[in-house]
Structure 1
Amino acid sequence: MTDPRAVELEAILRGSPDLMTVMETARDLALPEWLIFSGAIYQRVLNHLTGRPDNYGIKDYDLGYFDLDTSYEAEDAVIRQVATSFNPPLDAMVEVRNQARVHLWFQMKFGEEYAPLGGTEEALERFVSPLFAVGARLEVDGAMTIIAPFGLEDLFAMRLRPNPRRVTAGFPRTSAAIAKRWPEVKIEP
Structure 2
Amino acid sequence: MDLKNERDILNLISEDEWMMDILATAKSLHLPDWWICAGFIRSKIWDTLHGYRERTPTPDIDVIYFDNINIDEAEEKRLEQKLINIQPNEPWSIKNEARMHVANNIYPYSSSVDAISKFPETATALGLKLDEYDNLMLAAPYGVDDLINLEVKPTGFFTNTRKRAAIYEERIVKKNWSSKWNKIKVQHITL
Cα displacement string for residues 20-64 of structure 1 (whole angstroms, at most 9, x for unaligned residues)? 111011122211100011000011100000012352142111100
- Displacement after TM superposition at 1:82 (Å): 2.3
TM-score normalised per structure 1: 0.86
Runs of 4 or more consecutive aligned structure 1 residues displaced over 3 Å after TM superposition: none
Task: Work out whether 1:29 is the aligned partner of 2:26.
Answer: no
- Number of equivalenced pairs: 177
Query: Could you tell me whether the CA contact under 8 Å between 1:48 and 1:54 is conserved in 2?
Result: no
Where does 1:1-189 land on structure 2 (aligned, <5 Å)?
A: 5-68=5-68, 69-86=70-87, 88-90=88-90, 93-106=91-104, 113-167=105-159, 168=164, 169-176=166-173, 177-189=176-188
In structure 2, what residue type is equivalent to 1:71?
D
Q: CA RMSD in A?
A: 1.6
Query: Could you tell me whether the CA contact under 8 Å between 1:57 and 1:181 is conserved in 2?
Result: no
Separation of aligned partners in 2, 1:164 and 1:138 = 28
TM-score normalised per structure 2: 0.85
Query: Could you tell me whether the CA contact under 8 Å between 1:137 and 1:146 is conserved in 2?
Result: yes
Range with greater deviation from structure 2 (114-123 or 59-68)? 114-123
Instruction: Structure 1 unaligned segments of length 5 or more: list them.
Output: 107-112
Q: Percent identity?
A: 21
Range with greater deviation from structure 2 (73-82 or 178-187)? 73-82
Q: Secondary structure at the match of 1:170?
A: helix
Query: Could you tell me whether the CA contact under 8 Å between 1:33 and 1:120 is conserved in 2?
Result: yes
Compared CA separation, residues 54 and 10, structure 1 to 2 (3 A): farther
